[in-house]
A and B are shown apart, each in its own frame.
Chain A
Amino acid sequence: MMHVRRSPEEIAANRARYEEHQKKGLEFAPKALPGPSPLPAPVIEAAAIIHQEIVPGGWYWSSKLLRGEAIRIDQGEGNSTVALVAWNAEDTSERINLVDTAKVQWTTALGKGRVIFSDMGRVMFSMIEDSSGAHDCLMGGSTAASNAAKYPGEKTRNTRDNLILAAVKLGLDKRDIPGILNLFAPVRLAEAGGFAWQGKRTNSGDYVELRAEMDMLVAFSNCPHPLDPDPTYQPKRVVITRYKAAIPAADDLCRTATAEAVRGFENNALMQA
């Protein structure tokens, strides 16, 4: 097959542009980020609370979440991993996209100050608070088969089935379930590519707060992570609070921390004009 290659000059110019983006992405953003939020979690003003749901261990929950609202996920009793997916309420073909989220922010490590992207180059969530700093956007959740292998003979619920239930009750189906974000899952990747669980979590009471940057449908599953070292199936309840968030300031951390976040919010503004 005949093929005309690009000129060395064109390649060199594109490479120089990439390396500039890469340098900024890898070196600038981590310096701007503040590290984990302090514990214990501050009290949310009662007047701001729209709804509070206690999701028992092993169960799921979904909600509408409007732009400007936020959601706090509080693991309270510790040892809970919460899987999260989300769809644009106006067009559910737009949904959380974790491969883009990691790629465009140059990191799989999500924490306070990071944002979570949709597949359309727009910001769905700002991670406005996060005491944990240990979340997993790679490995996905448990399934009936993975639970059967890990907890033989036990009756358990799993993330895959939970999210199918949540999606179907929202009028969606299993085709609509995107890759999931595991909150409170300290998974790290070795140089060779193998996954490991980084010891036992000690911070009972860890919490994450996500501010909605568009109107969304969100679904949560509260089941143990596939790598959770606890051999017993005993997921703890989590408390999820939907509340009216403060209006972001001009220098809002999540909106200004990186060039990528700034451009993502510019894409949001085009949709929301």
Chain B
Amino acid sequence: MLPHDPLSRVLYIDLTKKSFKVKDRSDLFEKYIGGAGVGIQLLKEECPKGIDPYDPSNPIVFAVGPLTSLFPLASKTVAMFKSPHTGYLGESHAGGRSAVAIRMAGYGALVIKGSSSRPVYLAIHEDSINFRDASALWGMESNFTVGRIIRENEPAAGMRTIMRIGKAGEKLVSYACVTTESYRHFGRLGLGAVFGSKKLKAVLVSGKRTIPTANKSEYRKLYDELYHTAVESPLMKKYHDLGTAENIEPLNMLGGMPTRNLLTAKFESAKEISGDSIAENYLGRRLACSHCPVGCIHIAALRIPYEDETYFYKTSMISYDYEPIYALGTMLGVSDPKGLLKLMDHVESWALDAMTTGVVLAWATEAFEKGLVSEKDTMGLKLAWGDYNTYIKAAHNIMDQPNDFYAALARGVEHASSIYGGSDFALSFGKNEMAGYHTGPGTHVGHLIGARHSHLDNAGYSVDQKILAKKQLSPEELADALMEEEKWRQILSSLTICFFARGIYTPEVTLRALKLTGFELAKEDLDRIGDEILREKNRFKVREGFSLDNVRIPKRIFETPTPLGQLDEAFIRKAVEHFKKKMLEEVAPEKGGAEKAEA
């Protein structure tokens, strides 16, 4: 790291005492770079062993990396916390303006601990740290409105991030997300609920400054290389043109598109809700994260007429991507794009994780069909594939939790099925609901062994399509391939480079960029650091009681064929076993972590 780079400054905030301090943590940044690498260390230090995720001592860590604000596409912030959804590692990445704002405010990481007795939001304008009353914002129906009010109350337009929760976070839905800049999310593992448990409605961060580089002309040269690759290379074209939604049709054609709670892997109406179709009929605006020339964010403009007055319309701007189309579309059999966009809009306004909400509603629909839950449980809602109006009401109930059934759904399918039955078709892995891929064994093994049980950990779906479609791998080889990918992704997410840019940031380019920020590293160092970060994450999980012994694999994935054929349970279990030996047994139980946790 270069002298005078503010990266090593970590801002510690105590919401109970409404106090803060800044510490220099060059020790961590020099060893683990930033982002995920530094994040897991701060989590390990700050999170006492075995706590309830809603305990005030559960820390919220936000970390960025050395390349943020220097190079394009180093545009993500990594959040770390103990997950209320899984009880293990909570890790979530989001873009928007968050990463640039944190770096420009003069920090490499924020650590937020404690709990406020009244709703607050934090306004961090560089070194000015403000606890602002948020009582008037608490309970507000739409998180878009919350964003607008904070926007109007605070300075630094264009130079700030506003990370906030919706009602789902306030009401502790274990998969509530944190929304930033209206359309990006810290999703999946319940960061929104951790915010809610601390009565923290939002965190605003702003700033601007100069960041030093090791060599000005080299810096501009490498910048140009990266920039031109990003705007010209076919590597980014897919994200640029149709966005991630482009994948709907090809994946459906392959027969790897989970449909109606994975009763099939092909959706007959995929064309209607495909990236092409939505772009043609609804695409209203394109957006980018700060310092990203690609601009993958696609916003649909949905015009809805009022029923009680003619010539009156409401136009909603709704962000869509592959995963929400999968979870709230194919998974629920919703073929009407307008209905799908409406459902997305509601889920977004309460800041529920769209993917988990879709999988939960899909499980509930099948459980309802099979008679495991009654109309009394659903409070009169007749859940049925494709009926988006009913799904909007059900999603509202998940947020509001008016009875035991919806309270159970608010904790995910693993929990709900442990009460109502139907675990064979409860599609979660390591308690995290599945992503939109039924492409082969890679995707499911990837979910099972990934540190966050997310498709982004190791991109198992990609191994299925790029490797397994061409040649056979043994279970051990498959697990190794996934682990290798996940190790490299630790480096990318420690630099907080968007995974969409993984093709641009090759190890060679990454090392050159690091050198310009004062990190003199070699390829072997990156391999070693990536391996170590992944192990640290797994150590944290093991410390918190995670185990892969007798791991639950939903039977449904073996019933519905994939593009690579029917899946073999023994094969998947062997791959998981191999990972366990290589990653979990070697690291458990770790002394340092336990000692620190007790201290």
Do the two chains bind? no
State the A residues within 8 Å of B (CB): none
State the B residues within 8 Å of A (CB): none
